[in-house]
Amino acid sequence: MAPSPTGRFHLGSARTALFDYLLARKTGGQFILRLEDTDQKRFVEGSEEEIMRSLDWLGITPDESPLHGGTFGPYRQTERRDLYQQRANELVQKGSAYPCFCSPERLDQSRKEQESRKVDRVRYDGLCRALDPSDAAKRVASGEKYVIRFKMSHEGATTAHDHLRGDIVTENKYLDDTVILKSDGLPTYHLAAMVDDHEMEITHVLRGSEWLPSFPLHVNIVRAFGWDEPVWIHLSIFLKPSGKGKMSKRESAEAMKDGHSIFVDDFKGLGYTPEGVLNWIALMGWGVAEDDVMSLDEMIQRFSIDTLTPSPAAINFQKLDHFNGTHIRLLTTEDLSARIKPYFVAAGLPVEDEALMKITPLIRERLVTLDDCLAFASFFFKEDVSPNPDELIAKGLDAKQSAEIAKKCLEILSALSDISHQVTEPPMRAYVESAGLNANQVFGILRVAVTGQKVSPPLFESMEIIGREKVLSRLRNAITSLENMNMSP
């Protein structure tokens, strides 16, 4: 994959990377990370690191990259600049490209003039294309500033083959003499990517469909060199959840508001798992008929470029939540425990591994994101809980009645020396039965008293983990709280 370090690493790039990775693993190839950093003006500090960090987190670390080295390095285009200059000159020698000395000002003027004439397509006017090659060479040698443009044929048409879309035929009259080497000596994408793909022996080019308009240019460049073409695959782009337009910065701000993001590096902090994110993005642009919950290994097994889809896909965060929850439930207790522990630590709670291993099975199927563990299990590690007095009152009862029930619960539980759920549940149920109450009412009071919240993991198992002394003291506090309410109407 070949992203440019000009901003944050987003979902679209991640999906391309995933498919690159799957294809490489499937076919025994290498998954290479190449940084397209030829636009020094747009370079963003830290984005190279973010790209690599994101890939690592997803679990699709490149086999070869600026970090890992490899046989096809260097993997940063700015470190390969001589190569592009040689290749650009090669094209000039062959008559497939030419130096252009036009100033940005002249180009700008020409553009404006064409616009005023309302031409169908504004393009280079060809002034330097008409130059005598030896004259041009002399001007280059004399140190005059220049760029190199690809000499596009004006006649005929270009047929480019996309693996998903078939032949794409474009009349050459719609094509332009695009700049392939800039005046700073660095190549534009068009040259750099073609040269590197050839040098690095890239067999499949997977990229976003925003490259489709320059696709004819690219095949023309490859053909001008006389090289074999890779398999070209233009993936659909990701649309915003509404399906109207592609994801934008504005949209990402919206997503952040409800705990989502379009940047891979944000997902960890949001409580998402690599498994969930991977599964989610895999299914956008890849048609899997059934059994769509897949691990990375299963994806490798099932991947094929023939089952990729060309149509644009609206992203759907609800589906991400679904896959995240599903993959969380697939984790072993050890694994899940290790993944949620940092959240308790970060919250300043004294988490103990032994207790955590007991808690994890209780909350596993309740988690959508890992950080949900805090809402479901913080009370286990707190010294005290402070329930909302109103919530201690059971439905259909008043504070006095609720206090009576709480007292009875205390009586029953304090009589037991063993507080394991097998021991506590039968007498409690017997009490509910004999008192003519319903389980919701009694267990509800107990739940709020002991956990401090209306929603919690299963009550009796929870009490067992909290421990006898804490359970009893929390219950006593609840009784006091209810009685105080009673006195102040």
CA-nearest of 29, 33, 27, 73 to 55 is: 33
Residues whose CB is less than 8 angstroms from the CB of residue 80 and which lie 6 or more positions away in sequence, other chains included: 74, 192, 196
Using CB under 7 A as the criterion, what x/- string covers residues 104-133 for binding RNA?
x--x---x------x-xxxxx---------
How many Cα atoms occupy the beta-carbon half-sphere of 77 within 13 Å? 29
- State the nearest-atom distance from the C-beta of 171 to RNA, in Å: 7
- State the nearest-atom distance from the C-beta of 312 to RNA, in Å: 5
CA dist 471 → 236, 447, 448, 467 (Å)? 56, 10, 11, 6
Omega of the bond leading into 426 within 30 degrees of 0 (cis) = no
Beta-bridge partner residues of 263: 10
The smaller minimum CB distance to RNA, of residues 344 and 376, is found at: 376
54 binds RNA (CB under 7 A): no
- State the nearest-atom distance from the C-beta of 453 to RNA, in Å: 8
Is 369 within 8 Å of 270 (Cβ atoms)? yes
User: What is the token pair recorded at 23?
Assistant: 């294809």
User: What is the token pair recorded at 405?
Assistant: 């029930």
The smaller minimum CB distance to RNA, of residues 39 and 352, is found at: 39
431 binds RNA (CB under 7 A): no
Using CB under 7 A as the criterion, what x/- string covers residues 337-376 for binding RNA?
----------------------------xx----------
- State the nearest-atom distance from the C-beta of 298 to RNA, in Å: 15
Q: Within 192-231, which residues bind RNA (CB under 7 A)? A: 192, 209-214
Using CB under 7 A as the criterion, what x/- string covers residues 137-156 for binding RNA?
--------x-x---------
Query: Phi, psi (5° rounding) for residue 35?
Result: -95, 120
71 binds RNA (CB under 7 A): no
Is 264 within 8 Å of 316 (Cβ atoms)? no
Is 453 within 8 Å of 387 (Cβ atoms)? yes
**Which stretch in 24-32, 237-245, 379-387, 467-475 sits in contact with RNA by CB under 7 A?**
237-245
User: What is the token pair recorded at 180?
Assistant: 């392939």
**Which stretch in 188-196, 197-205, 268-276, 330-338 sits in contact with RNA by CB under 7 A?**
188-196
306 binds RNA (CB under 7 A): yes
The smaller minimum CB distance to RNA, of residues 28 and 418, is found at: 418
The smaller minimum CB distance to RNA, of residues 72 and 211, is found at: 211
Beta-bridge partner residues of 10: 263
**Which stretch in 19-27, 348-356, 412-420, 439-447 sits in contact with RNA by CB under 7 A?**
439-447
CA-nearest of 54, 63, 70, 69 to 15 is: 54
Binder of RNA out of 30, 78, 85, 183 (CB under 7 A) = 183
Residue with tokens 């650009």: 88
- State the nearest-atom distance from the C-beta of 488 to RNA, in Å: 27
Binder of RNA out of 49, 56, 113, 184 (CB under 7 A) = 184
Task: Fill in the DSSP letter of residue 245.
Answer: S
Residues whose CB is less than 8 angstroms from the CB of residue 471 and which lie 6 or more positions away in sequence, other chains included: 413, 419, 450, 463
42 binds RNA (CB under 7 A): yes
- State the nearest-atom distance from the C-beta of 293 to RNA, in Å: 8
| Total site size for RNA, rule CB under 7 A | 96
The smaller minimum CB distance to RNA, of residues 75 and 286, is found at: 286
Which string of DSSP letters, residue by residue, matches 430-489?
A: HHHHHTT--HHHHHHHHHHHHHSSSS-S-HHHHHHHH-HHHHHHHHHHHHHHHHHHHH--
The smaller minimum CB distance to RNA, of residues 239 and 347, is found at: 239
Residue with tokens 């004399």: 142
96 binds RNA (CB under 7 A): no
459 binds RNA (CB under 7 A): yes
Q: Within 264-293, which residues bind RNA (CB under 7 A)? A: 283-292
- State the nearest-atom distance from the C-beta of 255 to RNA, in Å: 14
Integer Cα distance of 218 and 214 in angstroms: 6
Integer Cα distance of 181 and 35 in angstroms: 17
Integer Cα distance of 390 and 462 in angstroms: 22
Integer Cα distance of 85 and 80 in angstroms: 9
Distance of CA 415 to the CA centre of its chain: 53
The smaller minimum CB distance to RNA, of residues 89 and 316, is found at: 316
Binder of RNA out of 19, 57, 189, 232 (CB under 7 A) = 189
The smaller minimum CB distance to RNA, of residues 133 and 243, is found at: 243
Binder of RNA out of 188, 220, 324, 337 (CB under 7 A) = 188
The smaller minimum CB distance to RNA, of residues 23 and 147, is found at: 147
- Give the full edge-to-edge strand order of the sheet including 147-150: 97-100, 147-150, 179-181
- State the nearest-atom distance from the C-beta of 179 to RNA, in Å: 3
Binder of RNA out of 440, 467, 480, 484 (CB under 7 A) = 440
The smaller minimum CB distance to RNA, of residues 176 and 229, is found at: 176
Catalytic residue at 151? no
How many Cβ atoms are within 10 Å of 106's Cβ, its own excluded?
A: 12
Binder of RNA out of 406, 443, 445, 450 (CB under 7 A) = 443
Residue of 118, 244, 249, 257 with catalytic role: 249
Integer Cα distance of 476 and 483 in angstroms: 11
Which amino acids are annotated catalytic? 249
